[in-house]
Structure 1
Amino acid sequence: MASPSIASRGSRPWPALLAVCLAAAAMPLTFTGTAVALPSIGRALGGGPVAIAWVTNAFMLTFGSTLMAAGALADSYGRKRIFLAGVGSFALVSLALVFAADILMFDLLRAAQGFAAAAAFSGGMAALAQEFEGPARLRAFSIVGTSFGVGLSLGPVASGLMIEALGWRSIFLAVVVFAVLAFLLGWRALRESRDPASRGLDWGGALSFTAALGLFTYGILLAPARGWSDALVLGLLAGALLLLFLFVAVERTVPRPMLDLSLFAYPRFVGVQLLAAAPAYGFVVLLVLLPGRFIGVEGMGEAAAGTLMIALSAPLLILPIVAGRLTRWFRPATICGIGLLVSAAGLFWLSRVPIGAPVLALALPMLAIGTGISFPWGLMDGLAVSVVPTERAGMATGIFSTTRVAGEGVALAVVSAILSRLVADGLKGHAVPSTIATGAQRLAAGDLGAAGSALQGLDRSVLTSLYADAFASLLLLLTAITLLTALVVFVFLRTDAHAPSGARIESAA
């Protein structure tokens, strides 16, 4: 079915799509740009490894943990209203980041930025689901996916150039411009809508889920420094597990849950959620880890590192739209699964590239990873809203986006902890045991100078060799995870994207 006409529905679907795309481009821009700026931010604002890690994790945590709540609010109080409130707040907080005076204030503002991004994204995506129907909706969401690709692609190189020319604080000004344009266009073009059956926000579910995710992420972040057997780490992880059980119990009892657990009885819905988490381990973590390697270990400047990152993210500019068009001839599961296999091949290839290799040797496997991940990236959002009734689009977007973004935040924390542990294992026999934990964290972050100081002057060549071995082992692990995810996608998404499974879910919901 074609998209609804402007005259018949009193709305402007394509300008509305542009408004959401501008907001969608701003969000990854602030993520990838901050990753490139991390060394500069650390030098300017100070802070230990955990505080620096929260520069990225604070945003990912609040963004991912509040998406479902924001989707429910959008369905209850108006999708346009929540979008405008979110994107307006996003602009204000991004401007405040320019003037942050210390690492604590910066991390708190990053957390606030994540809250605002959740409202903007959930409200905007739920509003778009009302503007487009059928294949037009799948194409519209593919365009949104491409907008994320624009932010991911331009973020590293633009940020690197701005950092070298104007300083790291300037990178947030571009985010403000995108957000302001999205607000103005959304205010004019979006049509207000809400779910008439909504009963407001499920506060019990929202609070228990957010707290569970927060405790889990904080525990993972503390583990490399304190050890996995530390009482505080174990307490945080146990608390997260208990809160997760509480969340499930709450969702089973409330009349209008934030997360409809009955949906998990359908393989296609489960497959979509697993697909949402796939890019986290095979792509998103590299957006943070690779700049640290290029700048801190390879010795590149911020602009050079940002330019090289284009090889990883540039395919997202075009290929998500190509993936949407390919659904005319191939099943989404086939497209997504093959894309993940290509990405896994790129990860394995990159694991074989040594420190100090020519730029082209790095760029080619990065291009393969970005090419492979672009195909599922272009289909995920459309698949997410295809498995629930249109009036529950806010919930569907919230669940899917929560899985994806929360998965990215958790993946970043877990992968960083694994890399630190691999480095620590390599340091045994080279350093005094009491210095290994701190040195491993510094080395995993790519800070060779601080690592050498913490490890009592261990030779730089030894540190580089240990880092290279640990990074290669990590890439092999990510390869295995991506291959496993491809297999799961082939099995769980066997039915066509437009098969009547949505109707079955509607009757169950």
Structure 2
Amino acid sequence: MTRASPDAARSKSLILAAIFLVAVTIPISFTGPAVALRSIGEDLGGSVTALAWIINGFMLAVGSSVMLGGALADQYGRKKIFTIGITGFTLVSLAIGLAPNVLTLDLLRGLQGISGALALSAGFAALAQEFEGPARTRALGLIGSGFGIGIAFGPIIAGGLIATLGWRAIFFISAAAGVLILAIGVPQLRETRDPGATRIDGFGAATFTAMLVTLTFGLVEAPELGWAHPLVIGLLAFAAIFLIVFIAIERLQVRPMLDLSLFRYARFVGVQALPVAVAYSFVVPLFLLPIRFIRVEGYSELQAGLMMLPLSAPIAIVPFLAANLTRWVPSGMLAAGGLVLSAIGIAWLAAIAPGASTFAFVLPLLLVGTGAGMPWGLMDDLAISVVPTERAGMATGIFGTMRVAGETVAIAVISAVLAGFVGGGLAGQLPDAAVGEVALAVASGAFEQAATLAPGLSHAAFAAAYGHAFHMTMLICGTITFAAALITFVALKKPRPARKRGRGRRMMEIEA
């Protein structure tokens, strides 16, 4: 760059600050509403499924849009797409704060997720253009800590706002953050794009979105309707068809939105295993525990936010520390070791029955949060490192999609599994026709609604069914996390030094 060094340093600092604020704000948009579900339901009403879409809709929109956002940023410019994303996020957040009913809120949450996805993809791609080498690793580690701060303090902020100003204030705060990002970051961004980008892969984007939407809908509706219901079977079948069509389309593209050839490389596959593991070890508890603390354990929203600190606070610190530890310890080993810690913490958490003391949760949650924090700040740099810098938008799009779409699917899958285990525990005590609806209410912690549907069962019966289901579900999450740790260790282990002959063919074997 030709700007004077002090000006360049100041500009980079402001860009980093703006994207850091994006990284803080987007997680709050996830964790805040998760804490606010009870308050939103009391204010606006709505069924258990409708309230669940406040979370699922946002995650689904982000997951289905982040890869398209990367492609748009590559072709039309990172600054332009970042500006559009943040502007949309700000306006929609303001509108959500004024939503008159749950249906409107659900629809606006989808628009908020799309806008956030555009900002995330373009922001990360822009950051990759501003920083290189170790500086980029440290910058992305700091962004990882930003996500951690949003996650760590999001529940507390939400709980405090609900107690003082009401749940709507959560979204007004997000809108205010968007205004600040537009003010300090956008004027400093350079307009960059991929010079080799051609047209947008519209058919690929459409089929991928259709796949993710039908899959998520099927998983969300299955606990209430039953897995054998024609609608559920149809949704899951269409999801499989859309996936096959998407893969076929991507194989025919000259510049695909998702470069499937990258999956031939073990290190790239290993990188994609990281967000899957974090989804089941960290994001799923982050979604389930506020429901348990508020609706099952009887805590207030603010108390639930404080209870989440041992899980979420390490994410605000550990990613940045892990990024600096890569000077001495390979990234793959750090990431795999962290996932093993998380798996142990999840197994410990599975053993805690409803009604346990507050302190019983502290150590296992701290172990899960610390373990998840190890790969958290390394994942983005690893994802970008396996492709040329000019295709950073594509890399962040692929990885962001795996990350957020994986989290969306993980929440839907685990919610369905939890309801399934609850239904299994109540099956002999209820008519078959009522099991699905009651199980969904109990899995959501809505024991009062479950009592209305099944007046013959006591609160203790619901708590026992929930406790067993939570135990089994957490064991499944722990198993998935440990398996991903093994994949990560094998795939991301430091490669042997390449021989001089053919060394140019090892472009993808960049050390983590």
Do the two structures share a fold, i.e. TM-score over 0.5? yes
Structure 2 equivalent of residue 132 of structure 1: 131
- Cα deviation code 1:80-118 (max 9, x no counterpart): 111111011101111111111111100000000010001
1:372 CA displacement: 0.5
CA distance in 1 between partners of 2:438 and 2:345 (Å): 30
CA distance in 1 between partners of 2:463 and 2:48 (Å): 19
Q: Percent identity?
A: 48
Q: Where do 1:415-426 residues align within 5 Å?
A: 415-426=414-425
CA distance in 1 between partners of 2:203 and 2:8 (Å): 36
Contact 1:91–1:180 (8 Å) recurs in 2:
yes
- 1:59 maps to a residue whose letter is F
Contact 2:319–2:376 (8 Å) recurs in 1:
yes
The normalised TM-score by structure 2 is 0.95
Structure 1 equivalent of residue 150 of structure 2: 151
1:8 CA displacement: 9.3
SS of the equivalent of 2:194 reads: coil
CA distance in 2 between partners of 1:258 and 1:151 (Å): 29
Larger displacement relative to structure 2 (428-437 or 138-147): 428-437
Q: 1:453 to 1:443 in 2, by over 3 A?
A: same
Q: 1:214 to 1:96 in 2, by over 3 A?
A: same
- 2:446 maps to a residue whose letter is D
Q: 1:362 to 1:502 in 2, by over 3 A?
A: farther
Structure 1 equivalent of residue 388 of structure 2: 389
Structure 2 equivalent of residue 333 of structure 1: 332
Listed as ranges, the gaps of 5+ residues in structure 1 are none
Q: Where do 1:228-243 residues align within 5 Å?
A: 228-243=227-242
- Cα deviation code 1:144-183 (max 9, x no counterpart): 1100001001100110111011111111122112221111
CA distance in 1 between partners of 2:203 and 2:509 (Å): 24
CA distance in 1 between partners of 2:423 and 2:18 (Å): 46
Structure 2 equivalent of residue 278 of structure 1: 277
Q: 1:491 to 1:307 in 2, by over 3 A?
A: same
Q: Where do 1:22-101 residues align within 5 Å?
A: 22-101=21-100
Q: 1:89 to 1:496 in 2, by over 3 A?
A: farther
1:506 CA displacement: 10
1:259 CA displacement: 0.8
SS of the equivalent of 1:12 reads: helix
Structure 1 equivalent of residue 268 of structure 2: 269
Contact 2:74–2:393 (8 Å) recurs in 1:
yes
CA distance in 1 between partners of 2:358 and 2:11 (Å): 45
Q: Where do 1:172-191 residues align within 5 Å?
A: 172-191=171-190
- 2:155 maps to a residue whose letter is P
1:200 CA displacement: 2.6
Q: State whether structure 2 residue 166 is matched by structure 1 residue 167.
A: yes
CA distance in 1 between partners of 2:496 and 2:437 (Å): 48
Contact 1:80–1:186 (8 Å) recurs in 2:
no
Structure 2 equivalent of residue 504 of structure 1: 507
Q: State whether structure 2 residue 315 is matched by structure 1 residue 322.
A: no
Contact 2:267–2:509 (8 Å) recurs in 1:
no
CA distance in 2 between partners of 1:10 and 1:468 (Å): 53
The normalised TM-score by structure 1 is 0.96
- Cα deviation code 1:378-427 (max 9, x no counterpart): 10011110000000000000000000000000000000000000000000
Structure 2 equivalent of residue 409 of structure 1: 408
1:9 CA displacement: 6.7
Larger displacement relative to structure 2 (177-186 or 18-27): 177-186
Larger displacement relative to structure 2 (355-364 or 299-308): 355-364
- Cα deviation code 1:448-477 (max 9, x no counterpart): 111111112411111111111111111111
- 2:121 maps to a residue whose letter is S
CA distance in 2 between partners of 1:505 and 1:376 (Å): 20
Q: 1:378 to 1:310 in 2, by over 3 A?
A: same
Larger displacement relative to structure 2 (427-436 or 338-347): 427-436
SS of the equivalent of 1:429 reads: helix
CA distance in 2 between partners of 1:292 and 1:496 (Å): 44
SS of the equivalent of 1:356 reads: coil
Larger displacement relative to structure 2 (188-197 or 264-273): 188-197
CA distance in 2 between partners of 1:422 and 1:497 (Å): 46
Q: 1:447 to 1:341 in 2, by over 3 A?
A: same
CA distance in 1 between partners of 2:9 and 2:78 (Å): 16
- 2:309 maps to a residue whose letter is I
Structure 1 equivalent of residue 13 of structure 2: 14
CA distance in 1 between partners of 2:14 and 2:263 (Å): 35
Q: 1:145 to 1:121 in 2, by over 3 A?
A: same
Structure 1 equivalent of residue 448 of structure 2: 449
CA distance in 2 between partners of 1:6 and 1:446 (Å): 56
- 2:62 maps to a residue whose letter is F
Contact 1:388–1:506 (8 Å) recurs in 2:
no
- Cα deviation code 1:322-347 (max 9, x no counterpart): 00011001111110011001111111
1:431 CA displacement: 2.2
Contact 2:341–2:367 (8 Å) recurs in 1:
yes
- 2:262 maps to a residue whose letter is L
Contact 1:331–1:497 (8 Å) recurs in 2:
no
Q: Where do 1:190-339 residues align within 5 Å?
A: 190-339=189-338
Q: 1:166 to 1:501 in 2, by over 3 A?
A: farther
Q: State whether structure 2 residue 493 is matched by structure 1 residue 494.
A: yes
1:6 CA displacement: 4.4
Listed as ranges, the gaps of 5+ residues in structure 2 are none
